[in-house]
Amino acid sequence: MICLYVLDDAAGRAPGGAARWWLAQSLRALGAEIVRRGGTLTLRRGPAARVIADLARESGAAAVYWNGVAQAPHRAVEQQLEAALAKAGVASQGFPGDLLVPPAAVRNKEGRGLRVFTPFWRRVLALGDPSKPLPAPKALRRGPEIASDTLEEWKLEPVNPDWAGGLRDTWTPGEAAARACLRDFLKTVARGYVGDRDRPDRQGTSGLSPHLRFGEISPRQVFHAARFAAAEDPSLGPGIEKFLTELGWREFCRHLLHDHPDLAGENLQANFDGFPWRSDSKALAAWQRGETGYPIVDAGLRELWHTGVMHNRVRMVAASFLVKHLLIDWRHGERWFWDTLVDADAGSNPANWQWVAGCGADAAPYFRVFSPVLQGEKFDPDGAYVRRFVPELKRLPAKLIHRPWEATPIELASAGVELGKTYPGPIVDHARGRERALAAYAKIRKG
């Protein structure tokens, strides 16, 4: 058996910096696991269909197997590969490991994918439990000696500057860590998931997203382990059902991407094509650096830069702030997330950005303009999350931490804060930003 990973720069969207870092760690962990079982992991770079077909010929392989991804660029590679292998008389087979159900199984009467989440998820669940995944082989027989690239040659990790320190401190990529993460979640966090999942100041969610993104754990493994945990302990039921619904959102986003390969480029609702976005590179840079003057937004963007993820609730608030308060095209925010998230996903990232902007398939109503202050006070009531990622505000009392501009000069001085110097004032006034956003949205509604 030859275990092969091909880095194909032309298949799909090129991964951003944080995802490249994760990929390197993930391949290292996979390689070590394969060696432990008696095999080796071969690395090759180039157009996957050609590289795999050449290797099959070179090694005299009888058959080639892979894990399929039901997306246009990957399907194109598979089709080329199937044709090349058939010509060479080599058997081949792909296995679905990326989704709970194939997109073809969830279609409306016209044969199109569903665009609203709730009926989509109902349909997925009505199809019955997805098949149980098989265990990994315990031992592998070593194949012939095959030349392999080295990970270092691929230069996936940053050097000069090495900005990945925060990622290393936060994450352990790889299959064993993914399984441990799921186990911990089901043992402890799942019980409080319904209430805690919206709290960035708590460890209230699973942290599985980058592991799922890189196939270190599959949605079917997660599904079955979660259902099993709920059957063993029925008091976990509500938390597990909610958690599985979130896994359903991942599925929904990937089905959307299957139907709309240009999800990151094209508004799903065409009336947004004429939206009066503002071009403001200074405001975009302030948002990217976490210097908007709104503590919950800034904490989120700094969490992202430091750890490679941002809490889901804060992603919604920070994304809404960019597209509504700053009126900057969602595609700029999507690209920033794409480059900085370790879980950057070609389905979930643009689908969620479109959802927040209001141009998505199952979009939040455009008139919902989050107040960053109220969101902060509701979901980070003591300010612990802000204190962690915006340390220059950490001595402000809880009642002021989400609205430092309302503090008196004495309160600011005793917390060591100089607005405009140690921490910026608000980049835009909330009420004005909200009105401007509503006026812009009203224009396209008329149009």
Ligand X SMILES: Cc1cc2nc3c(=O)[nH]c(=O)nc-3n(C[C@H](O)[C@H](O)[C@H](O)COP(=O)(O)OP(=O)(O)OC[C@H]3O[C@@H](n4cnc5c(N)ncnc54)[C@H](O)[C@@H]3O)c2cc1C
What count of residues does the chain have? 447
Among 99, 106, 356, 357, binds ligand X (CB under 6 A): 356
Smallest distance from ligand X to CB 346, Å: 8
Among candidate residues 157, 312, 392, 411, the one labeled active-site is 312
Please say if 312 is a catalytic residue. yes
Distance CA 210, CA 98 (A): 13
Distance CA 328, CA 279 (A): 7
Smallest distance from ligand X to CB 379, Å: 13
197 touches ligand X (CB under 6 A): yes
247 touches ligand X (CB under 6 A): yes
Determine the longest span between alpha carbons in the chain, in angstroms. Answer: 81
Residues 6+ apart with CB under 8 A from 132: 220, 224
Please say if 21 is a catalytic residue. no
Distance CA 98, CA 69 (A): 6
Residue placing its CB nearer to ligand X in the complex, 29 or 341:
341
Among 199, 250, 332, 436, binds ligand X (CB under 6 A): 250
Residue placing its CB nearer to ligand X in the complex, 6 or 247:
247
206 touches ligand X (CB under 6 A): yes
Among 208, 322, 390, 396, binds ligand X (CB under 6 A): 208
Smallest distance from ligand X to CB 420, Å: 29
Please say if 67 is a catalytic residue. no
Measuring CA to CA, how many Å separate 295 from each of 255, 260, 333, 423, 435? Answer: 35, 35, 18, 9, 21
Instruction: Find the helix or strand (DSSP H, E) in which 226 lies.
Output: helix 219-232
Residue placing its CB nearer to ligand X in the complex, 185 or 441:
185
Smallest distance from ligand X to CB 363, Å: 12
Helix (H, G, I), strand (E, B), or coil: what is residue 238?
Answer: helix
Q: Which stretch binds ligand X (CB under 6 A): 101-109, 201-209, 410-418, 430-438?
A: 201-209
Among 8, 175, 303, 343, binds ligand X (CB under 6 A): 343
Please say if 171 is a catalytic residue. no
314 burial via Cβ count (<10 Å: 0-12, 13-18, 19+): buried
Positions in 299-328 near ligand X (CB under 6 A)? 312, 315-316, 319
Cβ–Cβ under 8 Å, residues 6 and 331: no
Please say if 108 is a catalytic residue. no
Smallest distance from ligand X to CB 364, Å: 10
At residue 429, what is the residue type? D
CB crowding 51-81: b at 16 or more within 10 Å, else e: bbbebbeeeebeebebebbbbeebeebbebb
385 touches ligand X (CB under 6 A): no
**Residue in the block written with tokens 């001595």:** 395
Please say if 353 is a catalytic residue. yes
Residues that bind ligand X (CB under 6 A): 197, 205-209, 212-213, 243, 246-247, 249-250, 253, 312, 315-316, 319, 337, 341, 343-345, 348-349, 352-353, 356
Q: Give the residue numbers marked as catalytic.
A: 246, 249, 277, 312, 330, 353
